[in-house]
Amino acid sequence: MGTRRDTAGKGSQQPEDGGTSRFAAGTRWGWLLNGQLRFLPPPGRGGQQTIPRPERARLGGPPPWAGIEYRRRVPTLDHLVGEMTGRRPPRVVGPVESDVGRSAVLCLLYEHHREPHVVLTRRSPSMRHHAHEISFPGGRQDPDDPDLVATALREAHEEVGLDPDAVTVVGALDQFVTVGSRTLIHPYVAIADHPPALEVMSPAEVEAIVHVPLAELFRDDVWREEIWDLDHHGSRALTFFELVGDTVWGATGAMLRQLLAIATRTDETIAGGPG
């Protein structure tokens, strides 16, 4: 099945050794002097990937659902399906140049012990770009793909062995061009009636499959927003989710942010646009 993050609601029981060592390392390298200390994840959380944070990065605001009591944030899978199927058609957010490629990702949801979970992947450390990054299964559209839904399902099958016949696509999130790869991402949301039988099929691309309860993503101490001033892109808000052993950010963080905002009927917009 892969790595499961059944850690929601444990609070002070989270392991602290990793965070303590990161604090010490940060102090040794002078993070207190250049202000980077404020971006450290909570004790025991965060991944191995390198975050190319600009020197002038600053903290953003609370999550859109901050005003909702924690126990009322987490939706049932049926509620999420209802919100997705009744939602407006997806929009293209931000400008799209004529030469960008097209890609699709699959946001797969299922229930385990009556809790909705989402399937993510951790990219292989051998990859030249995005090593250790957390992402949805997905990739570029092939000429033989009849549409971008087929792209998302094919890529999920190739990466994690997902049976396309075992899931139902219930909607789509907004499309946007990523800053790094310069592709227009089409995120599709699908559900499985049972926890899916998955395995790493492409070790050159995927290091691990990560199953995350939505309750974990709704925790206040998991969320962080940062404002980055990017050349040619202006100021942009980036969303971070600090899990135990992994950091979700970038395009995947933006897509998860929108999914959770849809689930809670809160503000879906991201300052400066996703990406």
Q: What is the pLDDT of residue 273?
A: 67
Asked if the structure places residue 87 within a domain, the reply is yes
For position 69, which CATH number holds? 3.90.79.10
Phi, psi of 192 (to 5 degrees): -120, 140
Q: pTM for the whole thing?
A: 0.86
Q: What is the per-residue pLDDT across 77-87, written as a single tens digit (0 to 9) for each?
A: 999 999 999 99
User: Residue 195 — very low, low, confident or very high, per pLDDT cuts 50/70/90?
Assistant: very high
Question: What is the reported pLDDT for 243?
Answer: 97
Question: 22 lies in a domain?
Answer: no
- 10/94: higher pLDDT: 94
Q: How many domains does the chain have?
A: 1
- Predicted local confidence at residue 13, as pLDDT: 33
Q: Render the burial of 206-235: b for 16+ CB within 10 Å, e for the rest.
A: bbbbbbbbbbbbbbeebbbbbbbeeeeeee
- Whole-angstrom Cα Rg for the chain: 18
Instruction: Band the pLDDT of 32: cuts 50, 70, 90.
Output: very low
| CA–CA dist 275, 245 (Å, integer) | 23
| Residue 18 covered by a domain | no
Examine residue 19 and state whether it is found in any structural domain, yes or no: no
pLDDT digits (tens, 9 = 90+) for 96-121: 888 899 999 999 999 999 999 999 99
Its domain, for residue 117, covers: 45-264
